[in-house]
Structure formats: C-alpha cells, structure tokens
Amino acid sequence: MYFVRLLQALLPGLLVFALLQPLAVAQQAESAAKPPALMVGPWNLDELHKTPDVRWVNTKGLVRSLYYEGGPYRGKSTRVFAHFGVPEGVGEGEKLPAMVLVHGGGGTAFPEWAEIWAKRGYLCIAMDLAGRGPKRKPLPDGGPDQSHKQKFDDIKNGVQDAWTYHAVANVVRAVSALRAHPNVAPSKIGITGISWGGYLTSIVCGVDNRLSAAVPVYGCGFLHENSVWLKDFQRLGEQDAKLWVENFDPSHYLGNCHMPTLWMNGTNDFAYPLDSYKKSYSLVRGPRTLCITVRMPHGHPPGWARPEIGLFIDSVFREGAPLATVSKMKRVGNSLSATFQSRSPVKKAFLHYALAAGPWPKRLWKTVPAELADKTTATADIAAVFEESRPYVCYLTLVDQRGAVVSTEHEIVQR
C-alpha cells in the first residue's frame, strides 16, 4: 500500500519530466549547434567579420570613394565614408595585396594616402573615423567625432559609447570590405596607422587575425603609464580610467599579435614616449622591426612618407628585399655592438644617445657615426662620446643603400 501511495505522489512530476525532457534535449542540441560569439575585448568579431553593405560613390580612377555600413551609435545606424585606391590596369580576377590606412587625430579619409599605395600596386581603403564624409563634412548618420570628449569622457556612458569602440569596429569592418573585393588577395592584407591611427593599429593587429602585417606609426599602448594624456586619465577618475584601460589600451591586445610588425617613432615624440613604446612592441609575438628616428616630426605626411613602410610591406607581400634584421645591443667594456643581416647592403651606422633623465620629449639627443667592422656588425665606443659618468639612453641604427633605417632597442648604459 505504501508503494502505491508513493507512486501516486510521484506520478505528476514524472509526467511533467517526460513531457519536458525532449524540449530540454532539443534546447541543448540547439545551444551546441550555436557556439558563443567570438569576442575579443568588447568587440563581437562574428558580426564584424561579416561583409558590410557598401555603396560606391565613384568607381573610376586611381582613387575612388564609397560608404560602408557602420555599427549602431546611440540607437541609430551609421555609415562610414572611405577612399578606395585601385592600381591602374588591374585585370578581371587578378588578386593583389591590400592595405588598411588608419588616420590619426585631426585626420580623415586622405585620398592622397590612398593614391600613394595604389601607385605602389596595392588596393587600399582609407576610412574616416570621425563621423565625417567628403571634405570633412559631418554625416547625419556618422559615428562619434574624435575629440577628447569622445575618446575619453564618453566611456562614462558605457564602453560602447566611446570613440575607440566604434573606431576599432569600423577598421575591422574595412578589413571585411576589402576581403570581399574581387581583386583583393584575402591572405595579403596589411594595416598601417598614424598617431591615434597607430594606436588603433596596435589594437587591431591583436584583435583581427585576418591581417598579415602591421605598421603602427607613433601610436602605442601603456597610455595610462606615460603619454601626453595622463591628465585625461586623472580627470576620468579611478573607476572610469580602469574601465578605459581594460578595454581600450593596446597593452591588452598586443600579446595576441603574431604577424610581422614595423614600429616607427621619433625619440622626442610629444604623445607616445619611447618607454611606453618599448613596452608595447615587446608584447608582440611575431617578428618585429624598429625604425626610431631622432626628433622625427609628428604628423600624417611625415608618418606616411617614410620609405621603410612600403619596403617592409613589399617584403611581406611581394617578396621584396626585407629591411635589415638587427640584434639587441651588446656591451663589452666601453664598446656597444649589434650584429645584423641585410639583403640590401648596409652603408652607414650610427649611435644615438641622450642623458637618461627628464621627460622623454625634452631629452637632448646626439648622434655620432658607428663603425661597420664587417658586413655583419656595427660598433660604437661610448668612452669616446659620453661626456659624463651618468646613465645614458642609447641605440644604434643602420642605413642600407636604399636609405632605409632600422634600429636596435634603446638601452640604458653608463660609461
């Protein structure tokens, strides 16, 4: 009798379980069939890797123009204006390498930048990341502008309200648009950016593994540790500054970068000092090349005019002669040396040095020739040039017959 009563008590529950069990199994199967979205930082790469809608404005000439689909911003859909470079004489079905060109602060979609790469034989896209269209006119459906407010303060409204969130997303969408173009070789897409564009490049090269080469110019990570924007982080307050750094500082993404990279900066850059710069490029997992120039001017034309950029990209995508590879400096007594290899003969070498004290942008750098003892080693005697027995920061550079410069990492040494 006891077992009869027990069965009567359990029967309704058993019936419910029997009815719901197929539904639960179906839900589990559906869940297994749909893997979670691929997220890197706050970005949904599954969505960003889809080909955006593109509307061409001009489809003729070396430099053309278009709009492509952006993401929602404050509840409204957006579009992005871009120039698109196409080399002359591209045949139907011909596959060429391509470049993504990312402007910096105060910049826009520069047609002259796209023309440089089109003349070099690359398809390329140079987009505006300030919500503007042709002749820098604000778009009614553009994304955020790139003032300090949008770059820093707007994170108080949430991560997806900040400029960097949209800028990175729209750069990744540009890669997706390039990959869909019938003349682009999808495995041969590189990226270069200048200033804030170099900062974005330093993020994107660790976010989008569809890229195959990257050249950040000036821009880097560790902005919260040393950069021209330290006061902006202080103004944000501890909580919002922490949120910004966790989501938008390149230091959180560069460790994912396995592609070849070229890092280009000046010794006295007002925005991106060499200590933050070295910390940034040291995180990269792939091959890296440095080109550090004494007092390199900061700006878009100086940033895109350097010959090393095109030579580096050609070496990755077109089997061009690569830039020289150089070791870390080694000290033996008062001698600093570095070994190197180069298909293009190295014609000159230099030692650059400054007292290791004071703000990086204000340090006084001096340059003296270094010796090329053979075809594989550059050497400099620090006893002959260091005036005081104090710590100096120094590095060596090599110049090949094309005028291309490569650098060692900077080091602190004392006579």
Structural domain ending residue among the three candidates 275, 300, 322: 322
What CATH number is given to the structural domain containing 368?
Answer: 2.60.40.10
Evaluate whether residue 36 is within a structural domain: no
Structural domain ending residue among the three candidates 322, 344, 367: 322
Q: Do 356 and 287 fall into the same domain?
A: no
pTM score over 0.85: yes
Evaluate whether residue 24 is within a structural domain: no
Alpha carbon dihedral 260, 115, 113, 312, in 10-degree steps, equals 20
The token pair that represents 256 in the structure block: 């994912």
Q: Which of 49, 71, 67 is nearest to 125 (CA)?
A: 67
> What mean pLDDT comes out for the span 179-188?
98
Structural domain ending residue among the three candidates 290, 305, 322: 322
What CATH number is given to the structural domain containing 281?
Answer: 3.40.50.1820
With beta carbons less than 8 A apart as the criterion, state whether 292 and 395 touch. yes
pLDDT digits (tens, 9 = 90+) for 264-278: 999 999 999 999 999
pLDDT digits (tens, 9 = 90+) for 358-399: 999 999 999 999 999 888 999 999 998 888 789 999 999 999
Beta 288-293 vs 261-266: how paired, if at all?
A: parallel
pLDDT digits (tens, 9 = 90+) for 34-90: 678 888 999 999 999 999 999 999 999 999 999 999 999 999 999 999 999 999 999
Lookup result for tokens 């419910």: 16
> What mean pLDDT comes out for the span 316-335?
96
Q: Give me the domain span that covers residue 410.
A: 326-414
